Amino acid sequence: MTEILPVTEDSLKEAKRLILRGDAVAFPTETVYGLGANAYDTAAVNKIFEIKGRPNDNPLIVHVHKDFDISTLVADVPGYAKILAEKFLPGPLTMVYRSKGAVSSAVSCGLDTLAIRIPSHEGAQKFLKYVGLPIAAPSANVSKHVSPTSAEHVLFDLNGKIDLILDGGECSGGIESTVLDCTGDIPVVLRSGLVSREMVEEAVGACREYAYREGGVARSPGMKYKHYAPACRTEMFEPAQYEQALALYDFEKAKGTKVCIICDGEGKKLVGDRKYMCLGATPGEMASNLYAELREGEKTSDLLIVISPADRSGVMAGVMNRLTKACGKRYEN
């Protein structure tokens, strides 16, 4: 039986008991819900991979309380990383450093680096403080499904597989944290998110975006996998191809397929009286609504047609990355 409890003294006590026993607990963050376990405990970390059905070469992020001394876990923190941490943490930015090997090697799947995240969500901070341990946590969804942005989403994916979901309401950010490689001379974005490449560049002068090429070595192993995908068929169209998108809608609809168009405020003006879901008017709104809409869409539709927004910079890079992956395509930049 999986229980959903608000974050209180009692539920935190229960969460700590489960974590110390070597179990995984779901908890809220400002991006998406995480499925956390004691990062020092190899059996507990392995349990996370098992529960999610996660490939065992896709490393986990370690979550720590804002007062945790990360120098016990990682070495060689460069000057630019200190500036970025000062500016963006706690918040939706994960930083990859050289690992000291203090946590279980199962966390990083044998890599010599470790990804560290200090979430800003009040419930996450309370959980991390109460437990007092670094917590290895991926998103709390079944592997390759859409990430969860509410306790109900977690329950849908993991009902019966875990004992406790700490409920901190709906996640405001909506897409996973930016993953930034901080092991080199300049920071490199491995996964885009709410802290954009442009924001990092503005803070420290330089930032690159890592582009994974098919068949190449993935600096962030998660890049290789299809992710964030709804259970139903999903097709993406460029804004200029909207007439093709509408033609597909009409063709499928005539066959009896339940179809829905996903679009932004601009796309909405093009769809006429067809069924649609608007993700929002700003990149932040779109990020925040994206996963809930994809989960709603897969429940009610056989086919989701995405008319992609035209903007691709800043936070939209993260939204586009998730939308493209939802459509089973790899996002190349």
**Of 128, 240, 147, 222, which Cα lies nearest the Cα of 181?**
222
We find the least distance from the C-beta atom of residue 141 to Mg ion, in angstroms, to be 6
Closer CB to ligand TXA, 246 or 326, in the complex: 326
Q: Scanning the structure block, which residue is given the tokens 């809220």?
A: 28
Q: Which residues in 83-154 belong to E strands, given as ranges?
A: 93-99, 113-117, 135-137
Closer CB to ligand TXA, 94 or 301, in the complex: 94
We find the least distance from the C-beta atom of residue 226 to ligand TXA, in angstroms, to be 12
The contact pattern for Mg ion, residues 169-208, with x = CB under 5 A and - = no contact, is: ----------------------------------------
We find the least distance from the C-beta atom of residue 69 to ligand TXA, in angstroms, to be 19
Task: Assess 139 for contact with Mg ion (CB under 5 A).
Answer: yes
Closer CB to ligand TXA, 150 or 220, in the complex: 220
Within a 10 A sphere around the Cβ of 330, how many other Cβ atoms?
Answer: 15
Which string of DSSP letters, residue by residue, matches 34-71? EEEEETT-HHHHHHHHHHHT--TTSPPEEE--TT--GG
Alpha carbons 68 and 117: distance in angstroms, whole number:
11
Q: Which does 28 bind (CB under 5 to 8 A by kind): ligand TXA, Mg ion, none?
A: none
Closer CB to Mg ion, 120 or 139, in the complex: 139
Closer CB to Mg ion, 104 or 139, in the complex: 139
Interacting span for Mg ion (CB under 5 A) from 119-127, 132-140, 260-268, 292-300? 132-140
We find the least distance from the C-beta atom of residue 190 to ligand TXA, in angstroms, to be 5
We find the least distance from the C-beta atom of residue 139 to Mg ion, in angstroms, to be 3
Where b means 16+ CB within 10 Å and e means fewer, 59-68 reads bbbbbbbeeb
Cis? peptide before 90, omega within 30° of 0: yes
Length of the chain: 333
Q: Which does 177 bind (CB under 5 to 8 A by kind): Mg ion, ligand TXA, none?
A: ligand TXA
Kindly list the residues in this chain that would bind ligand TXA in the complex (CB under 6 A). Answer: 29, 31-32, 34, 58-61, 94, 96, 108, 111, 113-115, 117, 119, 137-139, 176-177, 179, 190-191, 220-222
> H helices of 37-188, where?
42-52, 79-88, 122-131, 151-158
Q: Which does 114 bind (CB under 5 to 8 A by kind): ligand TXA, Mg ion, none?
A: ligand TXA
Q: Which residue is nearest to Mg ion (CB)?
A: 139
Alpha carbons 229 and 39: distance in angstroms, whole number:
27
Closer CB to ligand TXA, 271 or 325, in the complex: 325
We find the least distance from the C-beta atom of residue 147 to Mg ion, in angstroms, to be 5
Alpha carbons 161 and 50: distance in angstroms, whole number:
10
Alpha carbons 238 and 260: distance in angstroms, whole number:
16
- Measuring CA to CA, how many Å separate 138 from each of 116, 177, 211, 230, 300? 12, 11, 22, 18, 27
Q: Which does 167 bind (CB under 5 to 8 A by kind): Mg ion, ligand TXA, none?
A: none
We find the least distance from the C-beta atom of residue 239 to ligand TXA, in angstroms, to be 28
> Half-sphere exposure of 184 toward its Cβ, with a 13 Å CA cutoff?
13
Closer CB to ligand TXA, 162 or 248, in the complex: 162
Closer CB to ligand TXA, 115 or 317, in the complex: 115
Alpha carbons 79 and 220: distance in angstroms, whole number:
22
Q: Helix (H, G, I), strand (E, B), or coil: what is residue 17?
A: helix
We find the least distance from the C-beta atom of residue 163 to ligand TXA, in angstroms, to be 18
Binding site for Mg ion (CB under 5 A): 139
